[in-house]
Amino acid sequence: MTRPAALDGVTVLDLSTVGPGTRCTRILSDYGARVVKVGAPPRKAGVQVEPLFYAYSARRNQDQVRFDLKAPEGKEAFLALAKTADVVLESYRPGVVNRLGIGFEAVRAVNPNIIYCSTSGYGQDGPHATWAGHDINYLAMGGYLHTSGRGEGGKPPIPGATIADSAAGGMHAAMAIMAALLRREKSGEGEYLDVSVTEGVLSLMSLYIDDHLATGATPGPGHDVLTGRYAFYDTYECQDGRWVSVGAIEAHFYRNLCNAIGCEQWAEHQYDDTVQDQVRADFREAFKTRDRDAWVEALSANDTCVAPVYSIDEVVTDPHLNARGAFGDVRHSEHGEFKQVGYVLAGMDAPEGVAEARDARTTQTDELLAGAGMDADHIASLREQGIID
């Protein structure tokens, strides 16, 4: 018998369109929640960012409604859905949902058990609460960019992934919501969640922040093992111009590495700061003697903590990832069938067959409002007025 999805029976109203909020509801949806994306009607939608058709897993298995939330009737329609929802998530600037009349207190008035999650860059209060920002800004404020390897002239890097949006924001919010759902099972009460993406970055950076608070140290590039102080935790170019990553932290892994690449002379100098430049130079020279994949074949399965630095096209063809079902098929009404990252987080259950992507122009507004008890004539009137779509 197929087991139930972890969040089966949970309904989430999602007022976000991109970023941490949408990352969060993607996770909740993939754990089995019914996610209803709440967007604006076409004549109002110009103020919102519309993600590309394949982004955020192509809205697979998510419903959509479109309400003009500035109109009283649009607010009424939203609150009708909120009466039977379990979670509302929003990512407007602080204070906007209250001005629209759909904030926590307004929703709690019709649904006392609601879990209401606000995601924002800097939190709902404090001196910087109203600052606009994106992923790079939150990583900068949280210390991530400062501790990362520097470019020419000490330039902090531009990360290759939206770490703040996905981990510090989206996963942070999803974890908080799931904890609140568990707490509600015990208390019977809903609650308000103030998810600050920057504070999520602090959680990711706690090793270095706690180091500073406890010892007065000032972590930065080259401060310790994980920020490039030692040659055994670095990246190296190979003969063919491609790269390997090395993370031989444990002493036996480090010795294995030195012996395998012909650098036995450094096997007993793993943490010797006085010779790290020499060790790194010899490692560079050694790795330049073979192509990347030859080194990976020789080292990776032999306890050296070596892995290839993949380009994205190599990621999706990797035999290990494919053997574990990391990529699945999805079908879009306009763009056809294509592959995407599947249900890769532990405890997610991939449905059988091809998942259905949702066209951003298609809504389930009538069905959902009818299910909330609104009569057909009223729904038709709201549609005619352009308040819903």
Nearest to 351 by CA among 85, 2, 75: 2
The strand pairing partners of 355, in sequence order, are 330
For residue 320, indicate whether it is catalytic.
no
User: Of these residues, 68, 165, 282, 389, which one is catalytic?
Assistant: 165
Angle separating helix axes 251-260 and 292-299, nearest 10 degrees: 130
Helix (H, G, I), strand (E, B) or coil at 78: helix
User: Of these residues, 134, 146, 223, 332, which one is catalytic?
Assistant: 134
For residue 165, indicate whether it is catalytic.
yes
Quote the Cα angle for 177-137-90, to 5°: 30
- For 388, which DSSP code? B
Q: Which amino acid is at 146?
A: H
Helix (H, G, I), strand (E, B) or coil at 302: coil
The strand pairing partners of 36, in sequence order, are 13, 63
Q: Beta-strand (E) ranges in the chain?
A: 11-14, 34-39, 63-66, 87-90, 115-120, 191-196, 233-237, 243-247, 306-308, 327-332, 336-341, 355-356
Question: Parallel, antiparallel, or unpaired for β 34-39 and 11-14?
Answer: parallel
As given in the structure block, the two tokens for residue 197 are 């993406």
Q: Are 123 and 129 in contact (CB under 8 A)?
A: yes
The strand pairing partners of 244, in sequence order, are 236, 308
**Residue 90 CA to its chain's centroid (Å):** 16
CA distances 123 to 15, 34, 93, 132, 166, Å, are 17, 26, 9, 11, 16
CA gap 310, 43 in Å, rounded: 43
Quote the Cα angle for 158-148-220, to 5°: 140
The strand pairing partners of 14, in sequence order, are 37, 89
Q: Looking at the annotation, which residues are catalytic?
A: 134, 165
